[in-house]
Structure 1
Amino acid sequence: MRMSDSGKTPTGAVPITEWPITDDNVTVIPKQVPYNSTQNNICSDEAQKGNKRSHDEAENLCDADPPSKVMKYLDIVTADIALAKWWRRHGRRLISPAVLPKSNNPNTVLNYVQRVDIAKDFLKNELKRLTALSLDTSQTLSKEDSIQLHSALASYHEKLGNFSIAKVEVLKALENDPHGGSVVSEYEHGGTEAFYFCVFLAKEVLWLSAKLDKQMQIKSTQQKHIETLQTQPDENRCFPKCKAVERRCFKSLNFEEFFTKYSKTSTPVVITGYLPLMTDSPWTFSYVKNKAGKCKVSLKKYVPESVEWARLENDKISSVAEFVDSVIDGEETGNLCLFDWSLPLHCPQLAEEITVPRYFAGDFLQRVTHGSLYHESWPSLFIAPKGITTELHVDAFGSNFWMAVFEGRKRWVFFPRKDQPLLYPQYTSSMDPVFEVNLDSPDLNHHPLLSLTQPMECVLEPGDLLFVPSGCPHRVENLETSLAISGNFVDLSNFKAVKEELEISALIDPRAEDLLTQFTSDTFNSKMSSSISDLPWKKYKMWPPDSFNDYDITS
C-alpha cells in the first residue's frame, strides 16, 4: 500500500534525522518558562540550570559575532528537529516514561511530547526567539540564512496550529529563492555552493507550503460543515449506517464496464469467482511457507498512538516460516502482522506465479523504466492473525488499490475521497494523513462531522477480489487469520491525482521526481485497451505489448 521499492522510508515521509541527538550537536536552549514539577511527575533542577547557562552563553556570543555567525551557532532548525534535540537533552528527564506511547518511533514519541505543556512552552519560547532574530537581523541576512530562518518560523507556527501565519513565513522564505519561488530545476546552469544550498532549502519550503495548503483547505472545509451542523438539532446526529459494497461475478464483468462504472466513478467493488485463475497453484499458508519460508521479513505492529501510516510501525525481524507457524498454531503474536511485503523484490518466485486480472493489468507503473519508483513494488503479501486491525488510512501517491484474499475473512469500511476532511486528518511528518476518529466507538461530541460521512462496508471472503479507488480512506479488520496479496496501480482513472501527488513528493524525493518526469513526458503513452485480457506475470511486466496499436481508451 505505501512502501517504496527499497522497502525503506516511503515517498513523502520526512524522518527526524537528529534522532538520537549526540552531545556534540545540541541546540542552544534559550531561557525557559519555569517547569511545573507537579504536572509531569519529574522535574530537573539541573536541566533548568543548563537552560540558563546556555542562554547566557548565547547572549555573550551575540555581543561578539555578526548576525550570520550567531544564527549558525544558535542552530536555526525546524521545529521537529529542535523538539527532538530538546527531548534528548532535557525533556526525557522532565516527562514520566510511564505516560509515553509504547513506541520506539521518534515521530510517534515526539507527537505525544509536543502536546505536553512543558514542550509547548519550549516551542513557544523558541518561536519568540526566532521571531526576534528575524526582526533584528532582517537586513543583514544572506539568502540561505533568510530562507532557513523563515522556513524554521513556518515549521513552529505549523506545529502550534497557526497554519495561516506559517504560510506567511513560507512566502517570506520563498522571496529569497534564487528562482523567485518557482520549483527549482535548473541544476545544470551551475552555481555556487550557496546557490545549491538555496535550491535545496527552497524545495523543502515548497513542500511545506503544499502541506500547509492542504491543511488550510481541510480546516476551511471543516468549518463550512460545522456551520451546517449548527443549524441542525444535536439529537439528530449519529454515525451513518454503512452501505454495502456491490459484489460482481467476474464472468459478467468485462474490463470496459469495470473501468466505466467503478474505476472512473471511484466506486469500490468486490469481484467474485476470479481467484482460481490468479495463481498457478492454490495459495495456502503452507504453500507460501514452502515457497518463501526462508525469506526474512520486518513485521509490523499496531500502535494506537502512532502517527505513522495506518498506525503501523516496524517491529522485529522474522522468517516467513517462523511467522506462519506462529499464526497457524494460534500463538500470541503481540499484534504483529506481515504487511505489504513486496513479492517482486523479496520473493520473485512467488510473484512469477501470479496472473494479473484484466481490471488492473493496464498499470502505468509498468510503462516506466526498470528501477523507477514503484515499478517493482507490487503485488505484496499480507498475513495477519485474527483481530489485527489496520486503522483508517489512504493509499499513497493517489494510487488505486486491489486485494485478493486466499484465506480468512476481512471486514473493510470505506469512505469516499470527499469525506477525508470529515474524518479529522492530521499531517505530521508526511503527506500521508493519520485520522483522529475511532470507528470502533465513534464520538460525535468530539468529532461531530462524522455524522455527515457516507461509509461503505464489505466482508471479504476467501476467493474475493476487491477494488479500492484512489483517495478513499479505509479501515481493515481481520475477522479471521488471513492470507492475501495486493497491488497499487495507476491508469487513466487516477492519472491526474497521481501526478498531482507526485508534484509534491518530487520536491523532496528524487525518485518521485524521476517518475513524474516520465509520466509527464510527451513520449509517455497513456492509452488503454477496452479489450485487455488477464496477463501472466511475464507479459504484465513487458512493455510495450504487441497489441499496443489497438489501445482505444484515451480518457
Structure 2
Amino acid sequence: MFLKEEKRVSKTRTRMLDYDHDHDDKKERGWRRGSVFPYIASFALIAVLAWYGSAEDYFTWLPEVEQERLTVVPIPRIKSDSIGSTKEFFDKYGDQVVIVENEVRHHPASKLGWQGLKDLCGGGTVHTNLYDPNSTAWGGQTDHVQMLLGEYLDKYIIGESEELRYVGGDTGMPEFCPSLEFYAPIPRYVALALSPMDGLLVNHDENCEASAVGCEKAVLIGQPETFIGRPGTMTELHMDAWLVPFWMSVYIGRKTFRTIRYEDSRTHLNYYRKFARAEKRVYDNSTGTYVTKQLEIFNPDLEVFPELENVKVYEGTVNAGDWIYLPPATLHAVYNDEMSWALSANSLYPALLDSFVDTCVDAGFAANCATMVKERTQCQGEIETPQDLRSCLVDHPYFRKLLSRYENGESRDMLLHETHDFPDFSSWCNAARIMVASYEKQYSKSFSEYVEAAKASDPSFVSDEESARMHVQWRTKQASLGFVTEQCKQAEMV
C-alpha cells in the first residue's frame, strides 16, 4: 500500500495552460468546404426537418460566406478491427488526427446510460461551465460551478433545463468516481503512457530504498477527464497543456471535432503558444469604437482572422462507441451534437517520444511541456536543449520500462490503476483518496482565509450571497471526498 507519505507537486490539470497572463481555471458548426447548396434547397431541407420537430437545431447550420472561405476536410476514419497492433497504429496514424470507429463500444460504459451513470457516480463532484464567445478563458469556459454529478444529470440531462451548462473537463475520474475505471478502461493504443502527476506517494517499507522503482507511485487524480453536455454545449479552439497527445472515448451521443495540425498553427496561428484564446482588437464602424473579437472556429470571422484561410481544418463526428486520437499540440474545438458523455486524457506514449521532443523544443518549451516532464521524472538540472528533454525521459526507469513493454507488444485495454502501475484497485483508490483529501484541505484553508481576509479589509467585498455560494462549493467538495472514500472502502471489503 502506497499510503505512507505524500510528496506534493504543483497540481496539474489537463484542461488549461499555465500562461503568464490571468485566465480562468479552467458555433455554430460550419459546413464543409464545397457543400454550398442553393438557398431554395436549403429552405426545403429545413421544412422537411421541421416536420420532424428538429428544424430549430438546423437554423444555426446555414452556410455563411465565412465558412465558404475556410478549408475544411474530413478527419480520417478507420474501423477498430483494421489495426492489428499498437505499433501498427502509431506507424500509420501517429502524426495525424484519426477516428477509430467502435473502438470502445465493448466497454461496459457504453451500456450504462444516464441512469446507470447516475447510480454509479452520482455522489461525485463535477466542475461545470458555460460557454461565453467573448471570454478569454480556456475554450471560452466561464461561470464555473461545482455540483454533484447526480444533481447535474437530474437538472441538465435527464431533466428539462435548457441552460447550456457543461461538465467540460477539470473533473478527473479518480477524484469523482474511482469505480468508473471498471466500466471505462484505457484503450489499448494509449494504455502504456507517461502521464502527468498531481503528487507522489512514497512507501517507506524497510524493503524499499529511497526513489527505488516500485517504492514511489505517481498519482494523477485529474485524468481521465469527464465531459457531459446537452446539444449546443461546446469547447472552442484551444491547445492542451504540455503539448502531449490527446484522446477521447465517447460513450453516449455525438461530438463534432474541428482540429488544426501543429504544422499549420505554428506558422499561421502562433498566438496559441502563449494565449488560451486568440483575440484581436478591431474597429467597429457601426459604433465608432474598438471591440475585442475572439476566434471561433465553429463560427469563424475571416475578416478579423484572415489567417484561418491559410490553414486546413479537419472536421469529424465521433459517435458513441468511437474513439479519437490527436497528435501532440493539435489545436481542437468540440461541439456536442447530442446529449453526450465522454472521457479524455493527455499523456505521452513511447511511440511518440521523438515527435513530442521535437514539438516541445520547436514551440520554445511552451505550455509547460518541459516542466511536466521534469516534475514527472524528477530529473535534475534545467531542461534547455533537445538532448536535456530526451535524456530526462529515456534515463527515467519508468519510461524505459514503458519503452520495453511497447516494443514487446504488451499494449492492451487496461484498467486505470494498471496504467499507473498499482497492483490493485484498492491501493490505487486509496492513493487517489489521499490526494483528493489533500486538495480538499487546501481548498478549505484557502476558502476560509480568503473570506476572512476579504471581510476584514472590506466587509462589502464578499457579499452574503457570494459567501453562501462558496460555502456550497466547499460542502460539495467535502461530500465528494466522502463518496470517493466510500468507494475505496467497498473495494477493500470485496
| Bin of the TM-score, shorter chain as denominator length | 0.5 to 0.7
Q: CA 1:315 to 1:245, structure 2 compared with 1: closer, same or farther past 3 Å? A: same
Matched, 1:342 2:172: yes
Identity %: 22
Q: What corresponds to 1:535 in structure 2? A: 414
Q: What corresponds to 2:254 in structure 1? A: 409
Q: Secondary structure at the match of 1:538?
A: helix
**1:256-405 to 2 correspondences below 5 Å:** 256-263=87-94, 266-279=95-108, 282-329=111-158, 331-340=160-169, 341-365=171-195, 370=200, 375-405=220-250
Q: CA 1:9 to 1:284, structure 2 compared with 1: closer, same or farther past 3 Å? A: closer
What code does the residue aligned with 1:414 have?
T
Q: Secondary structure at the match of 1:378?
A: coil
For residues 370-399 of structure 1, what are the alpha-carbon distances to aligned partners after superposition, in whole Å with 9 as ceiling and x for unaligned?
A: 468883432121101111121111111111
For residues 480-503 of structure 1, what are the alpha-carbon distances to aligned partners after superposition, in whole Å with 9 as ceiling and x for unaligned?
A: 111111111102414315764795
Cα distance, 1:238 vs structure 2: 5.5
How many Å separate the matches in 2 of 1:476 and 1:512?
27
How many Å separate the matches in 1 of 2:257 and 2:324?
10
TM-score using structure 1 length? 0.51
Q: What corresponds to 1:12 in structure 2? A: 18
Q: CA 1:402 to 1:237, structure 2 compared with 1: closer, same or farther past 3 Å? A: closer
CA contact (8 A) 2:71 2:309 kept: no
Q: CA 1:432 to 1:490, structure 2 compared with 1: closer, same or farther past 3 Å? A: farther
Q: Secondary structure at the match of 2:421?
A: coil
Q: Secondary structure at the match of 1:321?
A: helix
How many Å separate the matches in 2 of 1:385 and 1:9?
19
Within the candidate set 341, 354, 377, 1:483 is matched to 341
Q: CA 1:535 to 1:320, structure 2 compared with 1: closer, same or farther past 3 Å? A: same
Q: Which has the higher strand share?
A: 2
Q: Identify which range, 497-506 or 338-347, moves more after superposition.
A: 497-506
Q: Secondary structure at the match of 1:287?
A: helix
Q: What corresponds to 1:456 in structure 2? A: 314
Q: CA 1:5 to 1:373, structure 2 compared with 1: closer, same or farther past 3 Å? A: farther
Q: CA 1:243 to 1:281, structure 2 compared with 1: closer, same or farther past 3 Å? A: closer
How many Å separate the matches in 2 of 1:393 and 1:374?
26
Cα distance, 1:14 vs structure 2: 4.3
How many Å separate the matches in 2 of 1:498 and 1:395?
13
Q: Identify which range, 312-321 or 362-371, moves more after superposition.
A: 362-371
Q: Secondary structure at the match of 1:288?
A: helix
Q: Secondary structure at the match of 2:96?
A: coil
Q: What corresponds to 1:445 in structure 2? A: 303
Cα distance, 1:427 vs structure 2: 6.2
Cα distance, 1:538 vs structure 2: 3.5
Q: Secondary structure at the match of 2:407?
A: coil
Cα distance, 1:457 vs structure 2: 1.0
How many Å separate the matches in 2 of 1:291 and 1:303?
31
How many Å separate the matches in 1 of 2:14 and 2:75?
33
Q: CA 1:453 to 1:291, structure 2 compared with 1: closer, same or farther past 3 Å? A: same
For residues 250-280 of structure 1, what are the alpha-carbon distances to aligned partners after superposition, in whole Å with 9 as ceiling and x for unaligned?
A: 11212122111111xx211111122233337
How many Å separate the matches in 2 of 1:440 and 1:365?
30
Report 1 or 2 for greater relative contact order, CA contacts < 8 Å, sequence distance ≥ 6: 2
Q: Identify which range, 365-374 or 443-452, moves more after superposition.
A: 365-374
Q: Which consecutive unaligned segments of at least 5 residues does structure 1 have?
A: 17-104, 109-234, 545-555
How many Å separate the matches in 1 of 2:73 and 2:15?
35
What code does the residue aligned with 1:409 have?
R
**1:12-51 to 2 correspondences below 5 Å:** 12-14=18-20
Q: Which consecutive unaligned segments of at least 5 residues does structure 2 have?
A: 1-9, 27-64, 202-216, 280-293, 380-388, 424-494
CA contact (8 A) 2:118 2:149 kept: yes
TM-score using structure 2 length? 0.57
Q: CA 1:497 to 1:308, structure 2 compared with 1: closer, same or farther past 3 Å? A: farther
What code does the residue aligned with 2:129 have?
K
CA contact (8 A) 2:360 2:370 kept: no
CA contact (8 A) 1:13 1:431 kept: yes
For residues 210-232 of structure 1, what are the alpha-carbon distances to aligned partners after superposition, in whole Å with 9 as ceiling and x for unaligned?
A: xxxxxxxxxxxxxxxxxxxxxxx
How many Å separate the matches in 1 of 2:368 and 2:190?
25
Q: What corresponds to 1:244 in structure 2? A: 74
For residues 433-475 of structure 1, what are the alpha-carbon distances to aligned partners after superposition, in whole Å with 9 as ceiling and x for unaligned?
A: 5464333443333322222111111111111111111111111
How many Å separate the matches in 2 of 1:292 and 1:274?
23
